[in-house]
């Protein structure tokens, strides 16, 4: 785990949706989608398309957003659950 209990408590305060968008989709899904698009050009691009044509194609952008949001959302939720189990709720010390 890369977060301390205090850092996790601060992120948890902002809520699951914000965590999924920021930590899941942007920080995890974004780099994943970029790597898949670059690898996809070399493995799956048609031979008649140039590098620029491949990245201006609508299908390329649709798959980019699907890769980023699906992978990022799933991995963000898995990380949220792992942090929830690693740092369980502390009983209130004031009672």
3-state secondary structure of 26: helix
pLDDT tens, 6-65? 898 999 999 999 999 999 999 999 999 999 988 888 887 666 778 888 888 898 899 999
* H-helix or E-strand spanning residue 39: helix 30-44
**Can you give the pLDDT at residue 48?**
74
pTM over 0.85? The answer is: no
Give the pLDDT score at 51: 81
**H or E element in which residue 75 lies:** helix 58-86
* Dihedral sign, Cα of residue 31, residue 34, residue 37, residue 42: negative
Q: Which residues of 34-67 are buried (b: 16+ CB within 10 A; e: fewer)?
A: eebbeeeeeeebeeeeeeeebeeeeebeebbeeb
pLDDT per residue as tens digits for the range 55-94: 888 988 999 999 999 999 999 999 999 999 988 877 665 5
């Amino acid at each position: 785990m890369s977060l301390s209990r205090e850092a996790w408590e601060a992120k948890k305060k902002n809520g699951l949706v914000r965590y999924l968008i920021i930590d899941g989709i942007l920080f995890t899904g974004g780099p994943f989608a970029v790597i898949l698009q670059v690898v996809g050009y070399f493995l799956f691009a048609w031979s008649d398309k140039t590098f620029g044509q491949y990245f201006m194609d609508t299908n390329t952008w649709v798959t980019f957003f699907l890769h980023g949001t699906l992978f990022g959302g799933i991995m963000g939720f898995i990380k949220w659950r792992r942090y929830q189990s690693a740092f369980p709720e502390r009983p209130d010390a004031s009672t």
